[in-house]
Amino acid sequence: MRKTSAIAGLVTALIFAPWAARADGEPPPARPESPPREGAPGGVERITLAQAIQRAQSRNVSIVVAVEEIKRAEALVREARASSLPTLTGNAIYTRLDADREFGGRVVSAKDQLSANLNLTVPIVVPQRWAQWSHAKANVTTARAGAEDVRRQAVIGVARAYLAVISQKRVIDVGERSLQTAKAHYTYAHTRFAGGIGNRVDAVRAEQEVATDQAQVESGYAGLARAREALGVLVGDQGPLDTEDDIALGESPAFDSAMRDATGTRRDVLASRARLEAAEQLKNDSYTDYLPFLIGNAQPFYQNPPTLVQPLTGWQAQLLLTIPIYDGGLRYGLSAEREAFSNEARSQYDALLRQARSDVRLAFETVKRAEAALAAASNAARLAKSALELATVAYQAGATTNIEVIDAERRARDAETAAAVAEDNARQARVDLLAASGRFP
pLDDT digits (tens, 9 = 90+) for 369-406: 999 999 999 999 999 999 999 998 998 888 888 888 89
Q: How does pLDDT run across 152-181, given as a tens digit for each residue?
A: 999 999 999 999 999 999 999 999 999 999
**Mean pLDDT in residue range 66-80:** 94
CATH superfamily of 44-89+125-293+330-436: Outer membrane efflux proteins (OEP) (1.20.1600.10)
**Mean pLDDT in residue range 23-47:** 50
For residues 14 and 189, give the distance between their C-alpha atoms in angstroms, rounded to a whole number.
Answer: 10
Q: How does pLDDT run across 30-39, given as a tens digit for each residue?
A: 444 444 444 3
Dihedral angle of Cα 153, 157, 158, 161, to the nearest 10 degrees = 180
Confidence at residue 325, expressed as pLDDT on a 0 to 100 scale: 92
| 265 neighbors 438 (Cβ within 8 angstroms) | yes
Residue 77's DSSP bridge partners are none
Dihedral angle of Cα 408, 414, 416, 417, to the nearest 10 degrees = 160
Predicted TM-score (pTM) of the model is 0.78
**Residue 342: partners with Cβ closer than 8 Å, 6 or more residues away:** 276, 279, 280, 282, 283
